[in-house]
Amino acid sequence: MTVGILFDMTKCIGCGACADACKEQNKLPGPVEEVTTAYTWTTVEAREGQYVRHLCMHCLVPTCASVCPVAALHKTPEGPVVYDADKCMGCRYCMMACPFDVPKYQWDRAIPIIGKCIMCTSRVKQGEATACATACPAEATVFGSRADMLKEAKERIRKEPDKYIDHVYGLKEAGGTGVLMISGVPFEKMGLKAKLTDEPPAMRTWQVLSNIPDFVAVWGVFLYGVHWITARRDTVAHHEAARKGPDTIDTTHTGRPS
The pLDDT score that the predictor gives to residue 42 is: 98
Residue range 3-206 in CATH 2.60.120.200: no
Q: How far apart are CA 65 and CA 6, in angstroms?
A: 23
Given the DSSP bridges, would you call strands 179-182 and 3-8 parallel, antiparallel or unpaired?
A: parallel
What does the pLDDT read at residue 160?
98
Supply the pLDDT for residue 52: 98
Q: Residue 194's pLDDT is what?
A: 87
Query: For residue 251, what pLDDT is reported?
Result: 37
pLDDT beneath 70, residues of the chain: 203-258
Who's near 240: CB < 8 A, 6+ residues apart?
Answer: none
**Residue ranges of the domains in the chain?**
3-206, 212-248
CB 185 within 8 A of CB 12: no
Per-residue pLDDT, 202 = 73
Task: Report the alpha-carbon angle 22-77-57, nearest 5.
Answer: 45
pLDDT for res 222: 56
Alpha carbons 149 and 143: distance in angstroms, whole number: 7
Give the pTM: 0.80
Strand partners, 182: 8
What is residue 207's DSSP assignment? H
Per-residue pLDDT of 226-241, as tens digits, reads 555 555 556 555 655 5
Q: What is the identity of the amino acid at 15?
A: C
